[in-house]
Amino acid sequence: MNRSERALNYYSKGFNCAQSVIVSFADILKLDEETALRLASGFGGGMGRLQQTCGAVTGAFMVIGFLKGKFKSDDQESVTITNNIIQEFSKRFAAIHGSTNCKTLIEHDLNTEEGIAQAKQEDVFNKKCTFFVAEAVKILEEILLEY
């Protein structure tokens, strides 16, 4: 099973977009499944269902930060590298999907009962979000090979 398939498997089990992306990289992050899932649990629905940055995107950001991020106070190079990779990821994701914003991507307001009902009726989470999860993993794999 490749990483995109693994992410979609978790998503199909009811985990959010961010959880599904990060757990598919848990092996290279040297994180156990539970830690990866807990770490990303608040990032679904555009971060706590605020519908801002898509959970698949923030899941990818967490992977990038974990692998390339600053952990020493005097390491400005890691800040630059991490920011560059995140910006490149965002650019590629938005080029494919038109945005990195959850509300824009799914075209429904998940903070209203009507919006949730419409999203469920239109099967948005399966028809759209699965593509965001799979594509985020694919883009992330490509970028990590480049850096």
Instruction: Decide: 43 and 29 in contact? Cβ < 8 Å.
Output: no
Could you tell me which residues come within 8 angstroms of residue 69 by beta carbon, excluding any fewer than 6 positions away? 78, 82
Distance in angstroms (rounded) separating the CA atoms of residues 122 and 131: 15
Q: What is the pLDDT of residue 147?
A: 86
57 DSSP β-pair partners: none
Q: What percent of the chain has pLDDT over 90?
A: 99
Q: What is the pTM of this model?
A: 0.95
**Which residue is listed with tokens 């990779």?**
85
Distance in angstroms (rounded) separating the CA atoms of residues 75 and 93: 28
pLDDT exceeds cutoff 90 at 82: yes
